[in-house]
Amino acid sequence: MFLLHIPHSGTDIPKEFIDDYLLPKIDLDKQILEYCDLYTDKIFQPLKDKFEFIQFEYSRMFCDVERFFNDSEENMYLKYKLGWFYETQIFSNTPLRNIKNKKLISKYYKNHHSKLNDLTKKLLKKHKTITILDLHSFSDNKYWFHEKNTIYPDICIGFEDYHKNDKVIILIQEVFKDFNLSLNKPYSGSLVPNDYYQKNTNVKSVMIEINKKLYLDNNNNISTNGYKIIELIKILAEKLENI
């Protein structure tokens, strides 16, 4: 059984927190759009049609539910102040927002993970094992905190050995065999609900990261090639259903 996690497709910020941000809204909107896993809710629709999913409705620049909640455990916070609560902008190493509401905003993070834990528990009662499919996309652009010499693949598959599902990884590789694939590079790992992380090998997880250049046109709309990607994901969904 599979459970889909779509954490970064949202672009909204709750109105009551918009004044926390230190840059004009037009500039904030540009960063939100750039750093959003744009249309992943649509690109991965064939998987959503077959399996249960949980999707975060807000922008990751408001709350990034993919990061560790404890800042001392999150490297992106320790290095760049980009933990679950972003304090730094994406386009430059400058402050993003006032941090006065961080504790209040943490409720959004906790509510999301509570739902994720509960749904995982529910599925485990019905099935011996479940696999989280952690669904993302990424920009071919590099930001101030990226290694400048990194060469991005078409598709990155991420996992941690403790929660690895080899069959799923092989299937993804087969379906996307005509693309440039990488394993755990430049993005590594895959989200596991925190109640089960490093505790239960019956909960497995595989991350799929698709380069936005494969499915977006110059106007940030789904391209003709994007619909071909959706057809491949439909094939993947059918194969996964038959595991």
Can you tell me the mean pLDDT for 77-88? 97
206, 190 contact by CB (below 8 A): yes
Can you tell me the mean pLDDT for 214-242? 96
pLDDT for 243 equals: 82
Q: Say yes or no to pLDDT of 147 above 90.
A: no
Domain membership of residue 123 as a residue range: 2-241
pLDDT for 149 equals: 87
**Alpha-carbon gap, residue 191 to 165, rounded angstroms:** 13
- The fraction of the chain above a pLDDT of 90, given in percent, is 96
Residue 91 pLDDT grade (very low, low, confident, very high; cuts 50, 70, 90): very high
Q: Say yes or no to pLDDT of 220 above 90.
A: yes
9, 41 contact by CB (below 8 A): yes
> How does strand 155-158 pair with strand 203-211?
antiparallel
Q: Show the beta-strand stretches assigned E in the chain.
A: 2-6, 52-55, 130-138, 155-158, 181-183, 203-211
pLDDT tens-digit profile of 2-45?
999 999 999 999 999 999 999 999 999 999 999 999 999 999 99
User: What would you report as the CA-atom Rg of the chain, rounded to the nearest whole angstrom?
Assistant: 18
CATH code, domain with 173: 3.40.630.40
Residue 235: which of 144, 172, 181 has the closest Cα? 172
CA angle at residue 143 from 62 to 36, to 5 degrees? 40
pTM recorded for the entire structure:
0.95
Q: Say yes or no to pLDDT of 200 above 90.
A: yes
Q: Look at the chain and report how many structural domains it folds into.
A: 1
pLDDT tens-digit profile of 94-108?
999 999 999 999 999
Q: Say yes or no to pLDDT of 150 above 90.
A: no
